[in-house]
Structure 1
């Protein structure tokens, strides 16, 4: 249990090493590819393994593998691999080009990014996963950037923004479920409380994207015709997502559907179809390995007392109702910065957040909403989080370049702070 682990600020040193190597080296050199992220995280792991002299090396290795093999991490890896395969097959059969060209024929260039953001919101709240949404739509975003003068980083920022909308609100999102269960409230009640806080942020985000792309224009001179049959794999993904089908089945169905379309039209042969799937897996191998290593690093930091230290520091400073709400927000934010996983951060911070809520008469709907909002806000902007790493892998650019354009996560953090400051929405606590 977390409370049985002694708080130790030095346990956060490996995390600092990772941040300095991964982000700091890019800031210093101006080249965020100078330091490979796998090298940075592995160096941090080596530092973590040298700490905590009371624990033998074999036990530390066991802790490392337990963290890397956490069910959430392995599920993320499977999603990454399937996403890579779907993207590879969809591109190979021409589904991406046809879908982008269809979008260009329906919407003017200056509304494409807003439309992409709204579609991401719709899919993510239906499917309940930001990584699954990114996996499905990042290739479309890449196509939009290729065929217009809209910046690639801006386009990918819109996809991350829309994906985090559902991660925070969907009733089947693991983060939402974790927030509700740790706070002992009802899903529908948490949704209502959460929705009224973040809806203005979503509207402002759409306005920002429309302003930034007001003068967007097509830069492709070749034929922009499309074949509707090649758009069907993406429409199928949308339909399955809205129907609430598990993301694994959605992606597998997309791979099979795209393959059938390509094979029936003669665009690919069976052997090429298999090769495309393999190429997609290969494209995601680095990202999958990074997710596993980060999971192991976080577990070592947790076992060494780093997470316990963060919880202790935040909880000691709470002394009032608003302070309790800020404490919940700060607690889950700091844990998320350290774990790079919003579900794990909510599960970790949730029990203490509930204690704070009971101590200061904070409604459970409110505490659940704050947990989910601030965890999602942090997760959507950290360059070493799964969402930005995934979209950056598709785009072929640094996640640090994309982070400044993830407006929605930034705005929900602001919306959350305003909700705390003005006490909105208001609740009547039972027994008060």
Structure 2
């Protein structure tokens, strides 16, 4: 089995052939989404078929290609589990009145002019505390969408503020898996890595908050229908038992993750508490609670906005997201394990002649991996493997690479509709990548700042003699 794997990995595919599946997939994707107004699943399947044909043409047997697809799916399985659990949480928390309580007090406390800044900061704090953008968007983000829509703010703008805040915390939290992954793969100390990211991420979030502050001025109380907001509040009071005690459920979830309880068991506790709240606080039956977990919560309040906000969640609602994730990862699996992605990356690497172009190439490579392999983690793992030696040879500290991986990989994943992150956001917040992209300010400002810094040499750390000695010592120990 090991010999078979090695033989497969040694096969080489030219750049033109490596680009063919990607170009075909993108072309079909544009026609399908823009002109036919259909989903991205079929274009991804067509891209997978073309990738399989290219691999077959270069000597790979069907068993090899099949194994590549399975490997791609396997990489996405942790994300699939999280997606399913978030669907259960949304259904349970809506049925338990948790989301309604969050929206209720949000409408009471937050003024429309400051809403975008406020929801961004709240998502920053929660995500920084728990280290997960997905959990933040699936809980606080969902409530934020409800509050903002009730205030008359367009969904793409709200989603952009939620995403910026959630990804700030995901990128900067020592509890974040992507933060630990980027630091670990490059051999950079965790807090050295986080400190170095402050130079790009803090200015990025300041710019984002400024933009949201300016956008928020368009939604002052004088420009809104206060009667509509009041009607929503009254309908929430009529449809749910509103209690500040219900806020302890999201607080408990955050506390569990802060205490380093793994995401999956923490999310399981979250939906169990929501289910108990639906039965014992809201007075629903056990059958209704199970139905909310499976098919989502169902309400007929007579208020179109309330019905639209709360008729959602459940396992079934995430099957679109799960299916697209699986299809995308079969496509990414063939590109990754056939060597097509390696061929594309090698050409990108040839452009790196200086520190500036090396960092820029890293960020472009991360974005390319997000687009081709459809998975945020791969966009960190693959470029980390490819660029590590180049940074060392150019005399650059590994923290430059680790920062570039997060600036280009973690943040840009949201802009690819078929990436697991873009798919998750669509399923959770109900807004597509092309709609929220202009408003996810942090996610595109930070990569641009990172490239700008590299081109000017600002914050680019060179290796010291002590660093070089440590690297030589580590390499010598590996060879012995």
Is TM more than 0.5 here?
yes
Instruction: Give a deviation string over 1:107-163, Cα, whole Å, max 9, x none.
Output: 212222222111222222222222222222332133123311111111112222222
Q: Distance in 2 between matches of 1:342 and 1:395?
A: 19
1:190-225 alpha-carbon deviations (Å, 9 max, x no partner) = 110012221010111111112112232454231625
Distance 1:303-1:158 versus aligned 2 partners, 3 A rule: same
Work out whether residues 134 and 390 of structure 1, in 8 Å CA contact, stay in contact via their aligned partners in 2: no
Q: Which residue of 1 aligns with 2:62?
A: 57
Query: Aligned pairs, how many?
Result: 426
Higher mean alpha-carbon deviation, 269-278 vs 128-137, is at 128-137
State yes or no: 1:296 paired with 2:330. Answer: yes
Q: Does 1:319 align with 2:366?
A: no
Unmatched segments (≥5 aa) in structure 1: none
- Aligned-residue CA RMSD in angstroms? 2.2
* CA distances 1:331-353 after superposition (whole Å, capped 9, x unpaired): 32322222222221211111221
Alpha-carbon distance in structure 2 between the residues aligned to 1:92 and 1:271 = 12
Corresponding position: 1:374 with 2:408? yes
Listed one character per residue, the Cα deviations across residues 22-47 of structure 1 (whole Å, up to 9, x for unaligned) are 334333x2x6xx22222222222222
Report the Cα distance in structure 2 between the residues aligned to 1:351 and 1:16, rounded to whole angstroms: 25
Q: Residue 3 of structure 1 contacts residue 308 of structure 1 at CA under 8 Å; is this kept in 2?
A: no
Q: Equivalent residues in 2 for 1:5-20 (5 A)?
A: 5-9=11-15, 10-20=17-27
Higher relative contact order at CA 8 Å, sep ≥6: structure 1 or structure 2? 1
User: Is the CA contact (8 Å cut-off) linking 2:18 and 2:344 kept in structure 1?
Assistant: no
**Largest Rg, 1 or 2:** 2
Kept after mapping to 2: 8 A contact 1:104/1:112: no
**Residue among 133, 142, 146 paired with 2:145:** 142
- Residue 153 in 1 paired to residue 156 in 2? yes
- CA distance in 1: counterparts of 2:27 and 2:408, whole angstroms: 24
Query: What are the Cα deviations for residues 313-372 of structure 1, in whole angstroms up to 9, with x where unaligned?
Result: 111122223232223233323222222222212111112211111111111112211111
> Within the alignment, does 1:89 sit opposite 2:92 as a pair?
yes
Equivalent position of 2:83 in the other structure: 80
Q: What's the secondary structure of 2:411's corresponding residue?
A: helix
Q: Residue 273 of structure 2 corresponds to which residue in structure 1?
A: 257
What residue number does 1:66 align with? 71
For 1:272, the equivalent position in structure 2 comes to 288
Instruction: Work out whether residues 9 and 338 of structure 2, in 8 Å CA contact, stay in contact via their aligned partners in 1.
Output: no
Residue number among 207, 214, 217 corresponding to 1:214 in the alignment: 217
SS at match of 1:69: helix
Q: TM-score, normalised by structure 2?
A: 0.83
Superposition pairs of residues 174-185 of structure 1, within 5 angstroms: 174-185=177-188
Deviates more, 1:320-329 or 1:203-212: 320-329
The more displaced of 412-421 and 8-17 is 8-17
CA offsets, 1:268-296, max 9 Å, x none?
Answer: 11111111111211110121121112111
1:118 equivalenced with 2:121 (yes/no): yes
Deviation at 1:426, TM superposition (A): 5.0
